[in-house]
Homo-oligomer: A and B are copies of this chain.
Amino acid sequence: MNIKDAADRSGLPPKTIRYYEDIGLIRPARGDNGYRSFSAADLHKLTFLGRARALGFSIEDCRTLLALWEDKDRASGDVKRIAREHLSEVEAKIAALETMRGTLAHLVDACAGDDRPDCPILADLAPRPERRL
């Protein structure tokens, strides 16, 4: 199977698949013409990678998860640790974004948004004299 079919079936763009080969996540065979030839196993890996990336795992996490996935003797504790750490990162990001959202929503709400120059958003971003020093 050529790269375009692999892309269509895995849901990953061809460029990304080439990149994954570049960084050693997959090793598709090559035909006589130099074209990559994707096996069913390659396709499974790509799909695995697509799902893991969609869950926000980093490439290095994916590399580890892929190795664990292929290791029949793995301990599930290893996988759980990675997932749990990733979960707390996701939760931290959510918390940070919630704070942003709160402030932004407040500012957008307070701003008239008309042709007048008064703008609570800029006023809030600006350093106020009594705050400095």
Contact = CB atoms under 8 A, between A and B. Distances in A.
Interface of A: 9, 43-44, 47-48, 51-52, 55-56, 65, 68-69, 72-77, 79-81, 83-84, 86-87, 90-91, 93-94, 97-98, 100-101, 103-105, 107-108, 111-119, 121-122, 124-127, 132-133
Contact of A83 (B47, B74, B121): B121
B108 A97 contact: no
A117 to B, nearest CB: 5
Nearest to A111: B80
Contacts of A75: 114-117
SS of A interface (majority): helix
20 contacts: A9-B132, A43-B132, A44-B126, A51-B125, A51-B127, A56-B97, A65-B122, A65-B125, A68-B119, A69-B125, A74-B117, A75-B114, A76-B111, A76-B113, A77-B113, A77-B114, A80-B113, A86-B104, A90-B101, A94-B101
Nearest to A73: B117
B119 A55 contact: no
Contacts of A74: 117, 119
